Structures are given as C-alpha cells and as structure tokens.
Structure 1
Amino acid sequence: MADRRLKGKNIIITGASSGVGAEIARLCAQQGANLVLLARRIDKLIALKEELQHHFQVDVIACQLDVSNTTEIEEVFQEVFKQIDRVDVLVNNAGFGIFREAHEAEVKEIKEMFAVNVIGLLACTKMVLPKMIATRSGHIINIASQAGKMATPKSSVYAATKHAVLGYTNSLRMEMVRSNVYVTAVNPGPIATDFFTVADQSGTYVKNVGKYMLQPHDVAKKIVNSMLTQTREINLPRWMNIGSVFYTLFPQLVERLGKKAFFKK
C-alpha cells in the first residue's frame, strides 16, 4: 500500500526545475502532496507542473524565483501565501558550485555562490518559519553536502557555503525543538545532475568519480521518506560519510593519506 503520510500536505521546493528537486516533486505528488515549485527556469517548472497534474490529483503552483534575490524571495513567498494557508515542508534545494582553486576564484563567483547557497536558503527559511511556529508543525530540509563536512582542494568557496549551511541548520534545529518543527540536513556526495556542467567545466571530476555518483531519484527517495519525521541528517553515500567522520577525528592523517585522491577534481 502506498505511503499516504504526505497526502494533502503543502510542500515547497526550491531548485525544483530539474535533478533532485524535480524528483522530489514527483515522489511527493505520488503520495498526494500539494506542491509549490520554485526555480529560475519557469518553462521547465510549467512542464513539470503539467506532468504532475496530469498524473496525480494534486494542486501545483509554479513560480519563477531567483533565490539570490532576497527581494524577489519575499515577493514570491507572499504571493504563494495568498494561495496556501500553511507550509508543511520546505526543501531548500537550490544551489550551485564552481570548482576552482582559491586564488583563481573570482569575487563575482564567490558572491553568487554565497547569495544562492547561503543567503537565499536563509531567506526562504525565514519566510516560512513564522507559519510553522504558529501551527507548531513543519519540516525544514536543507540540502547541504559532504563538502560541508570535509573540504577538498578546488572547492574552497563551495565548501565554505556548505559549512555555513550546516552551521545554520544545526543551530536552527535546536531552536525549533520548542516549536515542534523538524530540521534536517542532507549531505550527499556527487550526484549525476547538470550541477557539474557549471561546477566541473573541464570534465575532470566527473571523469574520475562518475561511476561513484549518486542518482537523483535515489537521493530524492531518501529525502521524501524522511519528510515529517525527526531525522537529523541524511548522509549519502555511506562510505563517503564514513570518510567525513574519520576526517573529523583524524584530520591531519586524512589530509596526508588522501592528498593524491583529493586533487582528482
């Protein structure tokens, strides 16, 4: 029997136009959830909305949103709130990275990564928290990264943004205990999405780790299964998370032994 835990729930997903975000939307719709799809590519959102409404009896709102623009975030969320009375789950999925060594990173790129991965995530969360606190229910799911636990060469800025996301998420989780709102961090390794068309323009990283990449559907399934449950973290794949734990305990040793592998980006 299908899991109907999410039936009738209102779920907002940023970065919903493709990859993990789109897969989350499909899985939620299968369970009868109503969806708010947010992303920059409105054409893809509309196509996904039509797909979901064709196959499932759910309400779907699609809105164009650039999460790097905090004014736009406020305006779009206020419009969404005119159409839904509560928010049950917010999935902060929007994000991007560019792999460069620190001295090569352009200030413009640095600002853009922090604007999307950190400030945008915080701003979207801030919009829904009052509603969740008022109803004493809800779930914030922040897509971070294994890079937020263990930084590697050529990902200094991206790792810094994901460290920030994890710090915010951990603090928010403790604050929200009083309001019965769940907060989950998702820390995936590399996923086979178009993320790497921007992050890894040389193709080197994908070539070296392609066979180890996670599939978007598998990651989305783990996330959807955690919705409205008290799940602290989702770490994928397990073997990579073991490396992150080992790094926390023995950072100098890991940096020395893993030096060659880390430079495969």
Structure 2
Amino acid sequence: MTKISSKIVLITGGAYGIGKLMGREVLKRSGKLVIWDVNKLNLQQTLKEFEEFGEVYGYTIDITNTVWVKEMAKQVEDEIGPVDVLINNAGIVYGGYFHENSSEKIEKTMKVNAIAPMQLAQTFLPGMMTRKEGHICNITSSAGLVSNPKMAVYAGSKWAATGWSDSLRLEMKQLKSGVGITTVTPYYINTGMFDGVKSNIPILDQYKVSKRIIRAIENNRVYLSMPWSMRFVRFSQGLFPIWFYDWFVGRVIGVYKTMDEFKGRKK
C-alpha cells in the first residue's frame, strides 16, 4: 500500500480536469498537495478553492523546460520537502491527419506527453530510490495501445509514454527499489480536452476516473485501464489478423471515426 496521508504529492497539470480532481482526493486523504501547471490563472483559482481543504502549494511552470523543472524541483524540496508521489498528468492533443500537423505541434506534443514525464521522473526518482519508497503514476492513454486516425501525433506520444512507464516499472522491480510505478491508460474522459469526439463506447466520467487513479496508487496497481474492455486490446491485436482487427475496431465499434468531429478544449 502507498500511504498518501502526510505525504507530499506532486501533480502536473493539476489546476484543471482530472489533475484538479485528483488533487482534491489527495487533500481528502490529508496529503500535502503540490500543483504544477502552466496556466497561472487556473492555478490561482484552484489554490483559492483548495486552501480550506488542506495543505496545498502551487507553482506556475512549463514542464517542457528541463532547466526550469530542475530548479523548481529543488525549490519544492527546500520549501516543502521531498516529493513522495509524482503524478505525471499534464497532456495536450492536436487533432487532424498527421500531414496537417505543423512541426511545432509535433514537437510540443512529444515534449509534453512523452519527454517531460521522463524528465520529471528522472528528477524525483533518485531521491525516492535513496529513501527506498515513493510512487510514480504516469497517466498515458488508451491511444497508447490503439492506433487511431486523426490523432497520430498524440497516439505516438502516448505509445512512447506507455512503453517507457511499464519499462520503468520493471526496472524498479528488478532493482528492488521500493518505488512503485502505475501506468494508467484511460479512454476519452469528459474533461473538455476531447470536445467533439463521438464514441459508441461511453466516454469516461472525470470524477470516477480521478478517484480510481488515486485508489490505484494507494493499492500499488501496476496497470489501470479504463473501461475494463481496454484490458483486451493487446490480446486481440495478437490474436486476430490486422484486417479483422481494423474491421471490428474501426467499423463495428467505430473507434476509427471518433475524431472526425474533434474540436478540443476551448481556449
């Protein structure tokens, strides 16, 4: 079990969506919450809302800036203490076919969704390993398991994050480090990030998702897929020929059409 009470929990992208809701769950469990977010206004509003619920700290930061991350990590440790639980939650998505994406969008997506979580883990992991306790939760996506038209860049970033996260889990286990790793691969969540998506599979409720993720961390779950049917993705990919898999997932379930009317979060 991973104890959250009195522990320092850092959540990236913690001023909005499931990041904010997970922060509320941390405070309910008497954890010390540290929010990192690029949006200063959202961060200030969240801090004001949360101040009556417990011990909460907020820092405005661009997690793609590695130098900034290192400096801010030291500031957090000096001002609050060593981070016990890191939740890599921040993410971005751009829709459209791959060739329609600019080089800037491709680079930013990879930096936020794949490279930054690795840099953050590299920053906080040595301290956890020294203390022989800690937990890193990486929120990737079902797009890190299922290829999908009009989200090739996003899927690429999430495939990278998913593979890295589970490899890290195996390394920590092999080294008997005492550090737990949880990889979360949810389907679309109703946070506004995927506004316009049409899906035959029910879109996940952000409140339920946030609670399940925190419980997964507490229970040291190595993998959390939502909904339950996502557990069979890799099995079916290996079992069936690709033409049948494409037909079933694309035509019957309709996954390959989900992004056709994608609009994304309003600015």
TM over 0.5: yes
Aligned to 1:104: 100
Q: Does 1:91 align with 2:87?
A: yes
Instruction: Tell me by how many angstroms 1:98 deviates.
Output: 1.1
Following superposition of structure 1 onto structure 2, how do residues 130-149 of structure 1 map, counting pairs within 5 Å? Answer: 130-149=126-145
Instruction: Tell me by how many angstroms 1:122 deviates.
Output: 0.8
Equivalent of 1:196, from 190, 194, 198? 194
Contact 1:138–1:228 at 8 Å: present in 2 too? no
Instruction: Tell me by how many angstroms 1:152 deviates.
Output: 1.1
Aligned to 2:257: 263
Matched position secondary structure for 1:123: helix
Code of the residue aligned with 1:81 in structure 2: it is E
Aligned to 1:6: 4
Following superposition of structure 1 onto structure 2, how do residues 74-85 of structure 1 map, counting pairs within 5 Å? Answer: 74-85=70-81
Contact 2:76–2:82 at 8 Å: present in 1 too? no
Instruction: Tell me by how many angstroms 1:264 deviates.
Output: 3.7
Instruction: Tell me by how many angstroms 1:107 deviates.
Output: 1.2
Aligned mates of 2:35, 2:258 — CA distance in 1: 35
Aligned to 1:64: 60
- Report which of the two has the higher share of helix: 1
Aligned mates of 1:176, 1:33 — CA distance in 2: 24
User: Where in structure 1 are there 5+ consecutive unaligned residues?
Assistant: 198-202
- Change in Cα spacing, 1:10 to 1:63, as seen in structure 2 (3 Å) is same
Code of the residue aligned with 1:247 in structure 2: it is Q
Following superposition of structure 1 onto structure 2, how do residues 78-227 of structure 1 map, counting pairs within 5 Å? Answer: 78-177=74-173, 178=175, 179-196=177-194, 203=196, 206=197, 208-209=198-199, 212-227=202-217
Instruction: Tell me by how many angstroms 1:104 deviates.
Output: 1.6
Matched position secondary structure for 1:166: helix
Seq. identity, %: 30
Contact 2:145–2:233 at 8 Å: present in 1 too? no
Q: Deviations over 1:187-219 (max 9, x none)?
A: 00000012125xxxxx3xx2x228711111111
Contact 1:42–1:62 at 8 Å: present in 2 too? no
Code of the residue aligned with 1:217 in structure 2: it is Y
Contact 1:146–1:241 at 8 Å: present in 2 too? no
